[in-house]
Structure 1
Amino acid sequence: MNIEQAFTELGNAEEVPGLPMAWRWSPMSRFMFSLAMDTDGQWAYQMNSLDVHDEGLTRAVLEFARQHRLGRGPGSRPFTIAAGFSYGTYRFDVVVAAAPSVHGYHHGRNETLNEVVSAVFPAYQCEFRGDESPDEALLRFKRMLRPTIISRPPAPYLRMRYENTRTDGGSVGPSRGFTTHDVLLRELRLLEGAPGSFVEFENASGQVWNVEWNGSWLVNGAVQDAPPSEAWATSVLGWP
């Protein structure tokens, strides 16, 4: 696969200033796509941005990904996470590579190219466990992480199951499923006055909390004087 030829043949592709072996192009007004080849020309790292494009951040992410050869090769995990990243005033602390089977950036247009590209993006450590299955990574990448939005807040890794005797709401089955921070906060608030209800959730480190209200608050079986606060929930999820 001649990656360089594939991009130099694009009519609107131009070189990324200050970054060798890298190009950027805009397929429509809201999007900017940027791609940097690995030093041997056999792999590439692509970062897409929507609405807001920060050239400095993009260049830093691509350089970091190339330095770490992030997600390179057919045997890479669905998500490959490299810590130690920082840039400007952004609070991102990792760069993540999504495998070709997860991102599908060139699916339907150039399948050969798709298989030698990592989709890279700045992210937060609290968003990943590192052992996500292909299906889990696909769900997170396509529907929860919003990797093209550089102004996004964290979307912490959060799996939850719950039952509420007052609202008759609850999850299906015995397993914890992925959900969002706002859903967790809502269900914690709804526990009060609903004896027999519970919220059980897990963070990126695999730590599990069980919260109940039975006239008093119980967190992992220990009585609490006050309901779980938003600050507590945010903290245990590792929100930076």
Structure 2
Amino acid sequence: MNIEQAVAEIGNVEEVPGLPMAWRWSPMSRFMFSLAMDVDGGWAYQMNSLDVHDEGLTRAVLEFARQHRLGRGPGARPLTIATGFSYGTYRFDAVAASSPPVHGYHHGRNEALNEVVSAVFPAYQCEFRGDENLEEAVLRCKHMLRPTTVSRTPVPYLRMRYENTRTKGGSVGPSRGFTTHDVLLRELGLLEGAPGSFVEFENSLGEVWKVEWNGSWLVNDTRQDAPPSQSWVASALGCP
């Protein structure tokens, strides 16, 4: 696979300033696509930006991904993460890569190129557990993380199940499913005054908390004087 030739055939491609073996192109006004080829020419790392394109951040992400060979090869996990990244005033502390079956950046246009590209983006360590399967990776990347938005805030890895005897709301089945921080806070706030209700949630480290209200607050069967605060929840999720 000749990656450089395949990129050149896309059209309206220019070199990324200050980064060798890297190119960028804009398929429409809101998007900027940037791709850096690995040193041996056998793999590439692509970062897409929506609405706001920060050239310095993009260059730093591509350099970091290339240095770590992030997500390279057909045996890579659907989601791969490398920590220790930082750039400017951004809070990102990692770079993540999604595999070809997850991102599909060149699907339907150049399948051969698609199969040798990692989709990379700046990320937060608290967003990933590291063992996500293909279905979970697609859900996270396409519907939750907004990886093309460089101004985004953390979307912590969060699985939850719950039941509320007052609202009659609840999750389906015994397993915890992916949800968002605001949903967790809402359901925690609805526990008071609903005896027999609970919210159980899990973070990226696999740590689990079960919060109940039975006339007083219980967290993992330990009585608490006050309901869980937003700062406590953020700390539990690893994204303070």
Q: Same fold (TM over 0.5)?
A: yes
Q: Identity of counterpart residues, as a percentage?
A: 83
Give the TM-score of the pair, scaled to structure 1. Answer: 0.99
* CA-CA distance at 1:11 after TM superposition: 2.3
SS of the residue 1:200 aligns to: strand
- What residue is the counterpart of 1:221 in the other structure? 221
Matches within 5 A, 1:91-170: 91-170=91-170
**Within the alignment, does 1:186 sit opposite 2:159 as a pair?**
no
Counterpart of 1:176 in structure 2 is 176
Structure 1 partner of 2:87: 87
CA distance in structure 1 between the partners assigned to 2:87 and 2:11 by the alignment: 31
Q: Distance in 2 between matches of 1:160 and 1:219?
A: 15
What is the distance in 2 between the residues matched to 1:33 and 1:156? Answer: 26
2:199 corresponds to 1:199: yes
Answer yes or no: is 1:5 the counterpart of 2:5: yes
Can you give the 5+ residue segments of structure 1 that lack an aligned partner in the other structure?
none
* 2:195 aligned partner, one-letter code: P
| CA-to-aligned-CA distance 1:95-128 (integer Å, 9 cap, x gap) | 0110001101011111110000000000000000
Deviations 1:120-170 (A, max 9, x none): 000000000000011111100110010000000000000000000000000
Paired residue secondary structure (2:118): strand
Return the alpha-carbon distance in structure 2 between the equivalents of residues 227 and 127 of structure 1: 25
CA distance in 2, matches of 1:76, 1:87: 26
User: In the aligned structure 1, how far is the partner of 2:69 from the partner of 2:162?
Assistant: 40
Q: What amino acid maps onto 2:104 in structure 1?
A: G
TM superposition score normalised by structure 2: 0.99
Number of aligned residue pairs: 240
How far is 1:238 from its partner?
0.3
Post-superposition shift, 1:225? Answer: 0.2
After TM superposition, give the deviation of residue 8 of structure 1 in Å.
1.7
User: Which residue identity lines up with residue 87 of structure 2 in the other structure?
Assistant: Y
| Secondary structure of the corresponding residue to residue 162 of structure 1 | strand
Distance 1:11 1:209 in 2: 52
Q: Tell me, in whole angstroms, the C-alpha distance in 1 between the residues paired with 2:105 and 2:197.
A: 43
Task: Tell me the secondary structure at the aligned position of residue 204 of structure 1.
Answer: coil
Residue identity matched to 2:28: M
**1:13-57 CA distance string (max 9 Å, x none):** 100000000000000000000000000111000000000000000
User: Pairwise mapping of residues 22-41 of structure 1 onto structure 2 (< 5 A)?
Assistant: 22-41=22-41
The alpha-carbon deviation at position 9 of structure 1 amounts to: 2.3
CA distance in 1, matches of 2:181, 2:11: 42
Structure 2 unmatched runs, 5+: none
Match of 1:101, as an amino acid?
Answer: P
